[in-house]
Chains A and B, each alone.
Chain A
Amino acid sequence: MTGGTQRGTGSPRTAAVVLAGFPLQLAMHDHPRWAGSIVALADGDGPLAPLVCLNERARRAGLRVGMPAGTARELFPAAQLDVLDPDALVRSHDALTEALGLFSPRIAPEAERSGAWLLDPEGLEKIYGGYDVWAKAVWSYLRGRRLEATVIVGFHRDRALALARAGRPGARVLDSAGAERALAAEVPLRALALSSLGAGAGAGSGAGSDPGARASTGGKGGARSGAGLCAKVVDALAMLGVHTLGDLLALPPGELSARFGPEVAAFYLRFSEGPQLPIQPQAFAEPVEACFPIDPPDAEVTRLLFAIKGALHPLLRQLHARGEHLRVLHVGLTLASDSRELSTVLLHLRDAASDPSGDVKGAAPRVRVGRPFSGQGDAGRHAARGAEAALAQRRSPVNAADAADAVAEAEVEVEAAIVRLRVEPAEATLDARTLVDLLYLQLERTTLDGPVAEVWLGAEGERRRLSQETMPLAAEPPAARAEARAGGRARELPRRDLRAASETLARVRAAYGLRSVTRAVLRDAHLPEAGFEWEPVVDVTAAVATRAVCAQPSQVGAEVSRALGPSQTMPIMRRVFPRPLPLAGSAGAPPRLPPSYGTGGREGDVRRLYGPYRISGGWWRRTVRRDYYYAETERGVLVWLYYDRPRRRWFLQGELD
């Protein structure tokens, strides 16, 4: 492979971008301190969850993909084990897809969560000054975000992808289709095995596997539509002396299909000399957004809302023309403190980004024109300096990579400095009044460090849905209510409107934050604080109330419940503190409760203690051993506490109320 500039080869170009060990790279990106440690990702939380991604150090230490996380923890207590989050993986993949769209308008993710993309660089070499500069710009852009990528500009989509998977991080341009064919023939099949996809086959980052790729494979097949062979097929071929792609392509296709199945034959055909499918680029929706200045800058909420309302109507009309309703309204507020300084920088950057003369070559992605490019306080000023430096470097074609890094850093700082609001109505709407009302609530709880100089609005729409019918929850009284009526204690039952409830919850979210309206979801865990999670909720659902029996009743409780019936019994509720309260006392002495449990301002004394009940959990991540007790104070208050053995200390978990 060479890195020269190629012109006039005639054949259309295709580029492949691969982030080897994509989930692992994201984990390392989130935890920079893990560098140099044994790092592994497990497919779930628990001691039996299999490891799915390993770094090179973990591989050298003897860890293997598929090994239980608990075993890995026992072998290497200092190893950094984390749980793979598929949702975060998808979000990151989508964000990178959007970011790579800065380099080519035609981009196709190879598969969901795979960390591999196909880009069409045709024509862009004239802007960047060559395919090698373009490829290096892509690589630099990703490197600026601490991601190690392999960028191959070739001629055949699957061969380029295979070379990117097997290659080391960097940017390379292939001279000719023949050279590409020859290089692809040397790619080991093991690098294309499904268990190695995205991992660079250990050549680059040394990571183990790509669960995204694995998850996206279906059935028992030996290959999938992208590029990859089942590990069993690779082993079987290796026993026949077929180790590389060239070895495989030398086999007769018909015989291959008969012996290994049609999917392996399809894999064979993708690399053969037949016509290849063009890239199916992902469609990018034109953003619906508006940006306008506030002149003179103003901090008065009512006037700001009035200005925003005026700009909202054109946005809503655009959405209406698309047949959509507004689902989310993003608001960016640029404060006046840095606006003068930043506006100059913004002007230069916009000019540079739109300059077709070619004096800005190679280095940087396009600056998002129309977005607020300013910040507040020191962060904004720092971002301005970074952007200016980036601009200066961009005009010098000497150090394109550094310029791209500087631009990326400046972008990150600017993004962090913008005051952003997110307005989410209960359901998609075109009603400006509703949106302004919700925005008003958000502005109430937002502290602005200065007057607003510029406002940016961005709208996310969704296809119009049939309006929800009002659901009269209490139209048909349930049995219990019918009984109450019969008992003469019934009240006049109003109809409950679920839509009104959803609208109210949207107001609460706007006023107190997106995670302020939740529902509880129970988790299967030993520790009390891990036994549930709060999940954001948008709509109110009708209750399906059943009289459940206590999940873990005491022996007496179970008998009482059976004898009296569930309607006359009730488990005692516990109230837990958000963080267990440390108490005075040692293992040989009882704990001393806070003064609120005592009398006369003294610490509370424990009179009786029920327990202990030992709970151990999370040992595959960190050692937890607790002895739980119920304690009764002199005042008759029942509290729930535990003795933490590793820490040798008492903690108050909660109280019974």
Chain B
Amino acid sequence: MSIDFEFRKLVMDHHIGSDLIKYCYQCSRCADNCPVTRVSFDFYGTSGYNPRSNILNALLGYKDAIFDADPLVIWGCTVCDTCDEVCPQNIELTEIFTFLKNESVKKGNAPEYLIEQAKAICDSAKAIPSQPAIERRREQLGLPSIVAPNVEEVQTLFKNIGSDKYLD
């Protein structure tokens, strides 16, 4: 396994406002409280989702162990933020996992639903575009119409930031 120092630096930079990730002592409270670890991890640790290993591999720069493995290693996270709360070192694990997911998107390994949602947002400025049937239901319920967002502004942001190229 090789160490990627550039990747390591990016991980350290991503941790908002501190270098706390350095002080992870692998106590495993994150994995012990992770709902996905609970339902996916087998006793001998050969498969399943494990936030503790992700932090270790990210911190050490073991890029291959994260990105060349089963996508579950990254995409098993359900973003419940429980690990952030139980970590005795106040490491913002979910922020690190967000960075890993963003990198995985750039490698073309994102799950389909995620790309579908990003496309919908780029096309209509909403994750769930408005539909005639729901508009009628809103009217029946006595609700005002939804004020249309500025789609062009959203498309400009996507394009300038450069993430429109990961939509296909």
Q: Do A and B bind each other?
A: no
Chain A interface residues (CB < 8 Å from chain B): none
Chain B interface residues (CB < 8 Å from chain A): none
